[in-house]
Chains A and B, each alone.
Chain A
Amino acid sequence: MRPLIKYIIMKVFFLIITYFVALIIMFILPRAVPGNPVQQLIAGLSTGATSPELLSQYEQALVRAFELDKPWHVQFLNFIMRSFSGDLGISASSYGESVRALIARHLPWTLVLLVPANIVSWFIGNYIGAIAGYKRGSAMEKASILVGIIFSQIPYYWLAMTLIYVFAISLRILPPGSAYDPTLKPSLTIEFVASMLRHYILPFLSLLIPAIGGWIISMRVLASMELGSPYIQFSDSIGVRDKVLFKYVLRNSMLPQVTGLGIQLGFVLAGQIITEQLFNYPGMGILLARALGTRDYPLIQGVFMILIATILLANLIVDFIYVLIDPRIRLGYRTA
């Protein structure tokens, strides 16, 4: 178990360094772009009847409040110190609402939509891809390649528009957008859950179908590579049953796919900006788009602080799962 502990310590160490480097970049980048949140707010107010003096006073107060008068490294240190106590600051574009509350409101919707879509597509795509790779040259393989190639190339936003057009506008059997019926209040009643599910189908499908295609393609290649390996040929020639061989192929070609899923799940927190906009779905994508559009520094920082952490954490978990399922790594004969 010794190499394993050393391995984990090394991993975590590099993870923390990467995290801070990425955080610094994410802190500087928005500040390098012209425009800042205060200018955006003042520009919004200057159309009204506010007097110029009041505006300029207001602007100075805002600059102080967002600490824009301080050098960026002071801002950064303050941000880090505060965030350790759970304070991510006040959003500049949301009428004084706290970043934490905003994220807490948008995050569940994104998780509910993206996590199942990612996992379900992973299972379906890999299963079809593995069968296709295993049955080389069969009609089944040819059909799956075709389906895989076309599905994987469908842009998910195009599919979203098409699904809305077909099911919501032409056939009128499903709602065109939102996460639930706006006349209902979020609660755990049957009525609300039913409404949620009806609103869920189209965005879910628009994300699921293109993702399945991608998994089919990569898994087919992995499985057919595995199929040509000496251990499958030997097992085949001593009469090990095809069902068992398929399990072998599945088991060994699944390993790299686990990494892929983990990395995708890490990015889930960013939401799907376009899908959420098309469906008017209140997830993280919409929040992020607004943050970037209004140069809302606290909101950008807050979202990315959590996002980068989950990406890295997902990578760590993937490595750990790898250690659990691949004995070659567990016993130190190979690195992930």
Chain B
Amino acid sequence: MDRLTLKNVSAYYRQLIVNKEVYVRAVDDVSLSVKKGEVLGLVGESGCGKTTLSKVMMMNINPPLEFIKGEVQLTRRDGEVIRLHKMSRRLLKNFVWGKNISIVPQEAMSALMPTLKIKRIAYDLVRSHDPNAKLEDVVERLEKRLEELGLPDYIADRYPFELSGGMAQRTVIAVATLLNPEVLIVDEPTSALDVLTQRIVLKTLADLMVKNIVDSMVFITHDIAIVRQIASRIAVMYAGKIVESAPTEDIIFNPLHPYTKGLIESITSLEPEVRKRGVKYIPGQPPQLINPPQGCRFADRCSFVMEKCKKEEPPLIKIGEGREVACWLYVKR
């Protein structure tokens, strides 16, 4: 059962270069769905549009970003389907954000109001959705949530700047999920942390799923080695488009798209097969998103490139159970 569905979504940044207005196609015709009980890993290089896609998932669109087309749907636990793209910012904020869909942003250390204690921050959040909430109840709820996520309950009485990096990251997760949203988006939650703390944060995120605090999760990262530890499915994004999506094991052991293959081969891990093979990298740079090339966006860097690739854009086609890929190599003639 789908929790979050994106259909043919496009969102562009409007930018001024010298005296011309141009559009940066950060998210271009993306379709994606996240099922109940699923952790979707969204993987791509920096600048490929994955953070922009997270904004589109919440329909949190601010200038210079513009929503061009598409549909964004969220299915609540009670079965009701909300069409986010049809809602005003005010409605979204009052009734959807934080309650049905929530986000853990990249800069966790500075994501919490610095001059208030964590319990006040939580109180302000809960009160925004339920004006009658009482401070004692909110504190109780927060302490329970902190405990569920393996955090000491005294954190409620601390200021954000008193917490260490990993602690702050997990506290942000606790605050963001305080209202048990159906869907949680986490954006690069581990990139600023040391390896041990990364493990703890991943465990916290897994706890969210195990304890049914959230139904589905979108885990955004550039690091495929991290995301494979938690994601049940991985979608690979390249230059504003989804090029492949498949169950994690399939992506890791049997990648289809040449870009995915390149990504897997560039992982530095201790696994014996990698050691034997050596670390590889993909030569070249991603294309400019202002005037993307006509055909496949990966064509210039692809070692299997054909005539057709430079002329026509490959559609995202279904290959087997739960697998999709956008590459002419897999289109049967």
Contacts and interface: CB of A to CB of B under 8 A. Distances in A.
A and B touch in the complex (CB under 8 A): yes
Interface of A: 229-231, 233-242, 244, 248, 251-252, 325-328, 331, 333-334
Given A234-B105, A237-B103, A239-B128, A328 B176 contact: no
Given A239-B93, A239-B98, A248-B113, A233 B124 contact: no
Contact of B97 (A231, A237, A248, A327): A237
A283 to B, nearest CB: 38
Interface string B72-111: 0000000000000000000001101111001101010011
Contact of A238 (B107, B159, B176): B176
Interface residues of B, number: 31
A333 B115 CA distance: 12
Contact of A231 (B103, B114, B162): B114
Given A234-B111, A237-B60, A252-B114, A333 B176 contact: no
A81 to B, nearest CB: 47
B110 A239 contact: no
B129 interface: yes
Contacts of B93: 236, 239, 241-242
26 contacts: A229-B110, A230-B107, A231-B110, A231-B114, A233-B111, A234-B111, A234-B172, A235-B125, A236-B93, A238-B98, A238-B125, A238-B175, A238-B176, A239-B94, A239-B96, A239-B97, A239-B98, A239-B129, A240-B98, A240-B128, A241-B128, A244-B124, A248-B116, A327-B159, A331-B159, A331-B161
A231 B98 CA distance: 15
Interface in B112-134: 112-116, 121, 124-125, 127-129
Nearest to A251: B115
Nearest to A248: B113
B299 interface: no
B128 A234 contact: no
B173 to A, nearest CB: 11
B51 to A, nearest CB: 12
B114 A238 contact: no
Given A240-B128, A244-B124, A235 B159 contact: no
Nearest to B123: A244
A48 B157 CA distance: 80
Nearest to A236: B93
A162 to B, nearest CB: 42
A328 B159 contact: yes
Nearest to B124: A244
Nearest to B106: A230
Given A235-B124, A238-B98, 17 more contacts: A231-B111, A233-B105, A233-B111, A234-B112, A235-B121, A237-B103, A238-B175, A239-B99, A239-B129, A240-B128, A241-B94, A241-B128, A244-B127, A327-B159, A328-B114, A328-B115, A333-B162
A240 B161 contact: no
A141 to B, nearest CB: 14
Interface in B258-307: none
B112 A328 contact: no
A242 to B, nearest CB: 8
Contacts of A231: 110-114
Nearest to A327: B159
A18 B110 CA distance: 37
A240 B103 CA distance: 13
A240 B125 contact: yes
10 closest residue pairs by CB, A with B: A239-B98, A238-B98, A239-B97, A234-B111, A241-B128, A230-B107, A230-B110, A240-B128, A244-B124, A231-B113
Contacts of A237: 58, 60, 97-98, 102-103, 105
A236 B125 CA distance: 10
Contacts of B128: 239-241, 244
B98 A230 contact: no
Given A238-B176, A244-B124, A326 B115 contact: yes
Given A239-B94, A239-B96, A240-B125, A333 B113 contact: no
